[in-house]
Amino acid sequence: MTPTTPVLEMTGISKRFGAVQALTDVNLTVHAGEVVGLVGDNGAGKSTLINIISGVHSFDEGTIAVSGERVSFSSPQAAQRAGIATVFQDLSLCDNLDVVANLFLGQEFLMGGVLDEVAMEKKSWDLLRSLSAKIPSVRIPIAALSGGQRQTVAIARSLLGSPALVMLDEPTAALGVAQTAEVLNLIERLREQKLGVLLVSHSMADVQAVCDRIHVLRLGKDAGDFDGANTSTETLISAITGASDNVVSQRAAKNSLAGTERTPS
Amino acid sequence: MRPTGSQTSLREANRALTVEAVRRHGGITQVELAGATGLSPATVSNIVKELTAAGTLAVSYAVRNGRRAVQVTLARGNGLVVGMHVGTRHLRIALADPSSSIVAEHHMPLAPDHYADASLDRAAFLLDDLLDRVGADSGEVRGIGIAVPAPIDPETGHTAVPGLMRGWDGVDIAHAVQQRVGCPASAGNDATLAGVAEAHTGVARGIPNVLYLRASHGIGGVVVRGGTPQIGRRGAGGEIGHVSIDPDGPLCRCGNRGCLESFVGAAALTAQLPAAYSHLNYADIISEASAGDPLCGRIVADAGRHIGLALASANNLLDVDLIVVGGELAETRELLLSPVRHSFERNAFGAVGSAPAVVAGELGVRAPLHGAIGLAVSALAI
């Protein structure tokens, strides 16, 4: 076991939309086998950051490195080729198609010009079993599945391209408790498979349940990077809302900084 | 993937595969079972017929996608009991029949400092889902047992020592569950219940005096004498995790110094990781050690040495017949146990030649869940 290069390393990312400075100097790292939570209030810049990572938006300043290689995505396809899989909140599944058809939509296995249904079904089962997924059948339409099962299918599909990083946007937002449990267990499976996972969520309970590190964004800036196992909900909430960012704490931080190194203030 | 060999062993393997799939899904139709196991529909049909006749599975008729379907569940006796283990980072909940065999089970990761109200609400929803999966209604549930990682004061029903579970202080746990689910509930310490489960159905079956140690996020333990846990006046008996092995040692979350837990609890183990390993968590240390990583192996071995020392002091007072080590850390088997034995034998009184055996638990990390089911079943009998 040796120190690994992070699967995703973003340094000094800034993004401006016209007059709105959406992101300012954001730094974020995700290692293999690590689940990082990205939390923040509405308008904190989570979605912008995700869109930048998944290649939907460009960025103005800063660098992104995927598995140690500096990249700049011109399209979502480029991000996917680089090993970044994104599962968006709406899942982008076709309700009328069955699980196999959804998994392989646009990337079907062919054998002599016709669909190789047998190979695809086999691969589907392998994939779903590796995630310990509770899908009763791969030949039922997506419309017949529960919210948690749909999320599972969407995540399984993202794994087909053997990504290094899986990004999940609000995977538990519309789910009941039993389905949430299923998705959280699934995230633990992804971690065991040594994938980097970036989890964006508003639910503190879910983020704290599975994340190794929790990165807080506030008003487009980094508001802290916390250890998932030793950080209380109160600390996270105060970082999200800015309650911990006041004159007293700023002065304390400045004083402690002045004690160690000389910085012009 | 399917094992090769004689027809008989193949049939056995296929049966096991089928039962496992039914257990995992709770309830599943016969057609779906073929997909989930990879067996042919004819084979599944035969196996289901055999196992239904043998009383392992039960079938009922349902309608799926407008077609008649055979719904397969595990057979259960009259009435159901629920076992619940609210661990430090996990929630496990299982439905079992009164013979204590599990018919359906849920698992959910929890935040590090979870609160009683939120966690119990989630547990109640998961229970609803389990009942739904096996096609039972809530009226069939006759009792609930809850295991929590802290001693429970038998008089108040609160945790006996405040601060061990911050979000659960001052909550009458059994009562809170009873209010949510509407059937009798009882609560106990997870290490105590795990020890009782090992003594009743696990590796310590039929052994009169057993010392059980559960090495998980926290460290707990219990003395089981003739199948009965010795929990003491306030329910805090057997707390071997808070035996001090070094009066100048690190501070423990209980407020004392040098407790066994402050050396071998999850926080103590992850704190030892050097920077290059800092992305590992407690579960990773266990899996990496088992996979042969020398540094994680050393962390586990050192933990074993400390545990052996505490067990030696405890056994000098108790002189038990068998010592059982369970919990997540014991999943590393001999990596943990051989240093435990070594240090135990070096420090125990007159241990040479006549020391009690130190063995790993048989029920693994689900021992507290089995214990909670046992607690619910024994409450039924009274």
pLDDT reading at B15 higher than 60: yes
How far is the C-alpha of B277 from the C-alpha of A2, rounded, in Å? Answer: 8
CATH code of the domain containing B56: 1.10.10.10
Are residues B68 and B84 both part of a single domain?
no
How far is the C-alpha of A208 from the C-alpha of A240, rounded, in Å? Answer: 14
Are residues B243 and B158 both part of a single domain?
no
Predicted local distance difference test score (pLDDT) of residue A258: 57
DSSP-H helix ranges across A82-171 = 99-103, 117-130, 147-158
| Most A-contacting residue of B25, B84, B108, B298 (CB-CB within 10 A), to test interface | B108
How far is the C-alpha of B151 from the C-alpha of B74, rounded, in Å? Answer: 34
Rg (CA), chain A: 20
Q: What is the pLDDT of residues A94-141, one digit of tens each?
A: 999 999 999 998 888 888 888 889 999 989 988 888 888 878 888 889
Q: Are A164 and A196 in contact (CB under 8 A)?
A: yes
Q: Are B281 and B272 in contact (CB under 8 A)?
A: no
How far is the C-alpha of B33 from the C-alpha of B45, rounded, in Å? Answer: 9
Domain boundary, last residue among B20, B39, B74: B74
- B24 CB neighbours in chain A (<8 A) are 134
How far is the C-alpha of B55 from the C-alpha of B141, rounded, in Å? Answer: 21
pLDDT reading at A206 higher than 80: yes
Instruction: Give the closest-approach CA distance of A20 to chain B in angstroms.
Output: 35
When pLDDT is averaged across residues A54-79 and rounded to a whole number, the result is 92
Are residues B218 and B350 both part of a single domain?
yes
- Decide if B108 and A229 are in contact by the 8 Å CB cutoff: no
Q: Are B94 and B73 in contact (CB under 8 A)?
A: no
When pLDDT is averaged across residues B4-27 and rounded to a whole number, the result is 82
Distance set, CA B15 to CA B43, B75, B101 (Å): 10, 15, 17
| Domain membership flag for residue B374 | yes
Using the 8-state DSSP alphabet, how is residue B3 labeled?
Answer: P
Q: Does A203 touch chain B (CB under 8 A)?
A: no
For each of the domains in chain A, give its residue range(s) and CATH number, in order of start.
Answer: 8-92+162-260 (3.40.50.300)
| Most B-contacting residue of A98, A99, A137 (CB-CB within 10 A), to test interface | A137
Q: Does A235 touch chain B (CB under 8 A)?
A: no
- Decide if A33 and B277 are in contact by the 8 Å CB cutoff: no
Domain boundary, last residue among B59, B74, B89: B74
Q: What is the pLDDT of residues A228-260, one digit of tens each?
A: 888 888 899 999 998 877 666 677 667 766 554
Are residues B348 and B215 both part of a single domain?
yes
How far is the C-alpha of B318 from the C-alpha of B198, rounded, in Å? Answer: 18
- B118 CB neighbours in chain A (<8 A) are 205
pLDDT reading at A85 higher than 80: yes
- B29 CB neighbours in chain A (<8 A) are 136
| Domain membership flag for residue B198 | no
Least CA distance to A235: which residue of chain B?
A: B113
Q: Are B203 and B324 in contact (CB under 8 A)?
A: yes
How far is the C-alpha of A5 from the C-alpha of A31, rounded, in Å? Answer: 7
Residues in CB range of A202: below 8 A, 6 or more apart: A39, A170, A173
Are residues B113 and B183 both part of a single domain?
yes
Using the 8-state DSSP alphabet, how is residue B184 labeled?
Answer: -
Least CA distance to A36: which residue of chain B?
A: B279
| Domain membership flag for residue B312 | yes
| Domain membership flag for residue B201 | no
Strand order of the sheet with strand B357-360? B228-229, B219-225, B209-215, B322-326, B357-360
pLDDT reading at A265 higher than 50: no
Predicted local distance difference test score (pLDDT) of residue A113: 85
Domain that holds residue B266: 206-361
Using the 8-state DSSP alphabet, how is residue B152 labeled?
Answer: B
Tokens for A107, please give them.
């990337």
Size of interface A-B (CB pairs under 8 A): 86
- A204 CB neighbours in chain B (<8 A) are 111
Are residues B121 and B34 both part of a single domain?
no
pLDDT reading at B120 higher than 90: yes
Q: What percent of chain B has pLDDT over 70?
A: 97
| Domain membership flag for residue B128 | yes
Instruction: Give the closest-approach CA distance of A10 to chain B in angstroms.
Output: 18
Cβ-based neighbour number of residue B291 at 10 Å: 11
Question: Any idea which of A164-168, A248-252, B296-300, B310-314 has the lowest mean pLDDT?
Answer: A248-252
How far is the C-alpha of A44 from the C-alpha of A50, rounded, in Å? Answer: 12
Are residues B136 and B237 both part of a single domain?
no
Are residues B62 and B134 both part of a single domain?
no
Q: What is the pLDDT of residues B251-297, one digit of tens each?
A: 998 889 999 999 999 999 999 999 888 888 899 999 999 999 999 99
Q: What is the pLDDT of residues A184-193, one digit of tens each?
A: 999 999 999 9
Tokens for A82, please give them.
């680089």
Count of domains for chain B: 3
| Domain membership flag for residue B125 | yes
| Domain membership flag for residue B197 | no
Are residues B254 and B144 both part of a single domain?
no
Q: Are A176 and A18 in contact (CB under 8 A)?
A: no
CATH code of the domain containing B347: 3.30.420.40
Predicted local distance difference test score (pLDDT) of residue B367: 95
Distance set, CA B241 to CA A27, B89, B261, B348, B371 (Å): 41, 18, 5, 18, 19
| Domain membership flag for residue B135 | yes
Q: Are B228 and B214 in contact (CB under 8 A)?
A: no
Q: Does B69 touch chain A (CB under 8 A)?
A: no
Q: Which residues pair with B341 in a beta bridge?
A: none
When pLDDT is averaged across residues B243-248 and rounded to a whole number, the result is 93
Predicted local distance difference test score (pLDDT) of residue A262: 44
Predicted local distance difference test score (pLDDT) of residue A230: 86
Strand order of the sheet with strand B57-64? B27-29, B67-74, B57-64
Are residues B338 and B352 both part of a single domain?
yes
Tokens for A227, please give them.
């250890």
User: What's the pLDDT band for B351 if we cut at 50, 70, 90?
Assistant: low
How far is the C-alpha of B37 from the C-alpha of B121, rounded, in Å? Answer: 33
Are residues B188 and B235 both part of a single domain?
no
The half-sphere exposure of B29 on its side-chain side, counting CA atoms within 13 A, is 15
How far is the C-alpha of B236 from the C-alpha of A149, rounded, in Å? Answer: 43
- Taking chain A, what is the end-to-end CA distance rounded to the nearest angstrom? 42
How far is the C-alpha of B378 from the C-alpha of B380, rounded, in Å? Answer: 5
How far is the C-alpha of B75 from the C-alpha of A34, rounded, in Å? Answer: 40
Judged by DSSP in three states, B12 sits in helix
Q: Does A254 touch chain B (CB under 8 A)?
A: no
Q: Which helix (H) or strand (E) is B199 found in, with range?
A: helix B190-201
Higher per-residue confidence, A145 vs A259: A145
Are residues B306 and B373 both part of a single domain?
no
pLDDT reading at A263 higher than 50: no
- B285 CB neighbours in chain A (<8 A) are none
